[in-house]
A = this chain, B = another copy of it.
Amino acid sequence: MEFEIIKKDKKTNARVGILKTLHGIVYTPSFMPVATLANVKTLTSEDLNEIGVEMLISNAYHLYLKPGIEVIEKIGGIHRFMNWKKSVITDSGGFQVFSLENVKINEEGVIFKSKIDGSTHFITPEKSIQIQEKIGADIIMAFDYCPRNWNDYEEVKKSVELTIRWAKICKEKHKRENQELFGIIQGGIYSELREKCIEEIEKIGFFGYGFGGLSIGEPFEETLKITEFIIKNLPENKLRYFMGIGMPEQIIKLVELGVDLFDCGMITHIARTGSTLTKKGKINIKAGKYKFDESPLDPECDCFVCRNYTRAYIRHLINTKEITGLRLNSYHNVYFITRFMASLRERILNS
> Which residues from chain A sit less than 8 Å from chain B, CB to CB?
37-46, 66-68, 70-71, 74-75, 81-83, 291-292, 294, 304, 308-310, 312-313, 315-317, 319-320, 322-328
Please list the 9 inter-chain residue pairs (A to B) with the smallest Cβ-Cβ separation, ordered nearest first: A67-B316, A83-B308, A42-B323, A74-B292, A39-B324, A39-B322, A37-B320, A66-B320, A323-B323
- Interfacial chain B residues near A313, Cβ < 8 Å: 38, 75, 81-83
Inter-chain CA distance A67–B319, complex, in Å, is 9
5 A-B contacts (beta carbon < 8 Å):
A39-B325, A40-B324, A42-B327, A46-B308, A75-B313
- The distance from the CB of A308 to the nearest CB of chain B, in whole angstroms, is 5
Closest residue of chain B to A322 (Cβ to Cβ) is B39
Specify which of B45, B66, B323 is in contact with A41 (CB 8 Å cutoff): B323
- Interfacial chain B residues near A41, Cβ < 8 Å: 322-324
Closest residue of chain B to A40 (Cβ to Cβ) is B324
Q: Are B323 and A66 in contact (CB under 8 A)?
A: no
Closest residue of chain B to A83 (Cβ to Cβ) is B308
Inter-chain CA distance A315–B322, complex, in Å, is 22
Inter-chain CA distance A39–B319, complex, in Å, is 13
Inter-chain CA distance A71–B74, complex, in Å, is 50
Q: Are A316 and B44 in contact (CB under 8 A)?
A: no
Inter-chain CA distance A294–B74, complex, in Å, is 8
- Interfacial chain B residues near A323, Cβ < 8 Å: 41-42, 323, 326-327
- Interfacial chain B residues near A308, Cβ < 8 Å: 45-46, 83
Contact A310/B43 with A320-B66, A326-B323 known, Cβ cut-off 8 Å? no
- The distance from the CB of A36 to the nearest CB of chain B, in whole angstroms, is 9
Inter-chain CA distance A324–B68, complex, in Å, is 19
